[in-house]
Structure formats: structure tokens, C-alpha cells
Amino acid sequence: MLDLGSVVLRVLPAPGHTPGSIVLVDAAHQVLFFGVAVGSGAGALMALPECLTISRYRDGLDKLLPKLIPYRDYTFLGGHRRQAIPTPQFPDAGPLTFEVVEDMKLLCEKMLAGTVAPQPAGHLGFSRLSQYKAGRAAMVQKKSKIK
């Protein structure tokens, strides 16, 4: 718990984008602050060297999802507000929700099973990477990190 005086935040570990990612729960205002732990509505960039492998990310989501159930109707805020609004660059963007987190776990499982096809990510500025999608979740990733 982080006591900020008039606001108390509960800290939930959420390893994903980076190993030390967290989610902050503000129960008084019914808000969850995700940063980029599961993306910001337009998907997650998981191709950076410090990002977890897909299996470790899935395992982290497995632990996080049950902890989110009491807060599923809260407002979920990601780290990049502009990615929560559809634009020409992010046409599939939308608000971050509990269902997006569930879909992100499903996407990890499909990537590990090889049942989701990679799509070019050049329109996002990543010419050497691929984008994967399942439900409302999307991820930009290198094939070498899918293990």
C-alpha cells in the first residue's frame, strides 16, 4: 500500500512490458493505473530487450487476472492516453478494460501455440517486427521472444 495522505493506492505486481511493472489500485476513485503493463489500448510493445518472453508474460497475466476481478468495473488507465482512442495510426485502439487483459492472456497462449498469424507492423513504425492480435488485444513482438 502507498499512503499518499488523502489517497491510498494498493500495488499489484504485473510483470509484462518490463519485469518490474505494477498496477496501482485507487479504490476510493475506482481507478486502476496500468502504465504500460498490458498495453495502453492499442496493444503492447513487447519487442524491447528488457521485455519478458511471451511465456513469462502469460504467467504474469495468469497471476494478475484473479487479483483484478474485484476491480473489473473500475476505470483502467494505460500509460499512453492517445493509444486508447482510434486514429489512422492506431485504428484498433480502444479503452483498456478487464476484457482486454483477458484477451492479452489469450493472445499470449495463441502466440505460444503458433495459432495466430503475424501481421506486418510497418504502419506502426516497426518495419522489422510483427503485430499479433486476438480479440481486443494486440502486441508488437519479435519472433525470437515467442517462447
Domains of the chain: 2-145 (3.60.15.10)
- Kindly report, residue by residue over 55-107, the tens digit of the pLDDT: 999 999 999 999 999 999 999 988 766 666 777 776 777 788 999 999 999 99
Beta bridge partners of 32: 25, 76
Q: State the pLDDT confidence band at 125, using cuts at 50, 70 and 90.
A: low
Terminal CA-CA length for the chain: 34
**pTM flag (> 0.75):** yes
Grid look-up 507492423 returns 121
Q: Which of 20-34, 36-50, 78-92, 105-119 has the lowest mean pLDDT?
A: 78-92
